[in-house]
């Protein structure tokens, strides 16, 4: 799938200069941060919880491990990992957007999750962590917002320990035509209206629908992971492929 010319990229269906995209994505997440969690539940009918649960179960997180929840936003995965890795482990919630990090930090503090979580503002394309550092990296619904996805995947490979695992949870391509039609109707006609009603922000939810359509499909993303150097790369479709969980190892 084309990512535009060298200097251009996609922001939803718009072609923009590559160096403008990060600011435009930042605008979306500054705008939705306060209502992000409630909108996730409303828009996905709560199904995002099931997708995230499957991701956690697939991670193999154990006490003492170091986990990076990249583009972790409001910290749903971080909260679960914090319990699994325990006092001897460490979870790093990294996100480029300080509004999302702030909501995440307050939510986790309110849940009493403090000891083994740290918060880092970082761009996935150039992670500020040492080589071979994490046992597990997750990026949930984050990769499609990143301008240079290949650079981000390479950066994740660098900071993973040998034997470490990357899990990419992301919207993908439904397998069946009927599902695709229903999904298109829902995301282009209904979702922006719900966004307008609840957050007074139809544009951010139109971007959501468009960015999902522009994201590499299952096989393309698998190829990108292999190309970056991940091994044993595979994926599991969920909800007919509306969402896929890609998994790969560094050896
Ligand atoms: C849809 S939210 C997902 C949040 C959380 N992972 C979840 O599943 O609920 C996408 C997140 O990606 C972050 N993000 C976008 N571009 C990024 C980048 N280049 N590096 C790191 N985080 C980024 C956004 O700030 C936002 O918090």
Closest C-alpha residue for ligand 1 atom 13? 71
The response to whether residue 73 sits with its C-beta less than 6 Å from ligand 1 reads: yes
pLDDT at 149 over 70: yes
pTM: 0.94
pLDDT grade for 3, boundaries at 50, 70 and 90 = very low
Average pLDDT, the chain: 93
- Report which of residues 217 and 197 the model is more confident about: 217
The response to whether residue 201 sits with its C-beta less than 6 Å from ligand 1 reads: no
Distance 142 CA to ligand 1 centre (A): 4
Does the domain at 3-175+205-249 match CATH 1.10.460.10? Answer given as no
> Which numbered atom of ligand 1 lies nearest the CA of 73?
27
Mutation to probe ligand 1, out of 68, 97, 209, 243 (largest number of atoms < 8 A from CB)? 97
94-121 tens-digit pLDDT: 999 999 999 999 999 999 998 999 999 9
25-62 tens-digit pLDDT: 888 888 889 888 988 898 899 999 999 999 999 999 99
Q: How far apart are CA 140 and CA 94, in angstroms?
A: 12
Please tell me the predicted confidence (pLDDT) of residue 98: 95
Q: Give residue limits of the domains in the chain.
A: 3-175+205-249
Average pLDDT over residues 7-23: 87
């Amino acid at each position: 799938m084309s990512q535009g010319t060298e200097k251009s990229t996609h922001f939803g269906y718009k072609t923009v200069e590559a160096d403008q995209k990060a600011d435009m994505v930042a605008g979306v997440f500054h705008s939705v941060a306060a209502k992000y969690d409630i909108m996730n539940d409303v828009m996905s009918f709560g199904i995002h919880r099931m997708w995230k649960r499957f991701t956690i179960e697939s991670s193999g997180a154990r006490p003492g491990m170091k986990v990076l929840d990249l583009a972790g936003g409001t910290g749903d995965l971080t909260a679960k990992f914090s319990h699994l890795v325990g006092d001897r482990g460490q979870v790093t919630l990294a996100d480029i957007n300080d509004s999302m990090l702030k909501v995440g930090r307050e939510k986790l503090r309110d849940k009493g999750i403090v000891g083994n979580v740290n918060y880092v503002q970082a761009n996935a394309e150039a992670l500020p962590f040492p080589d071979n550092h994490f046992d597990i990296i997750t990026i949930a619904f984050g990769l499609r917002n990143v301008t240079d996805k290949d650079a981000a995947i390479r950066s994740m490979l660098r900071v993973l320990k040998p034997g470490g695992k990357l899990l990419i949870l992301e919207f993908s391509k439904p397998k069946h035509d009927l599902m695709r039609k229903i999904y298109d109707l829902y995301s282009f006609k209904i979702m922006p209206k719900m966004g307008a009603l609840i957050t007074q922000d139809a544009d951010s939810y139109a971007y959501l629908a468009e960015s999902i359509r522009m994201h590499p499909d299952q096989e393309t993303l698998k190829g990108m992971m292999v190309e970056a150097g991940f091994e044993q790369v595979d994926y599991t479709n969920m909800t007919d492929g509306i969402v896929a969980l890609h998994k790969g190892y560094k050896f």
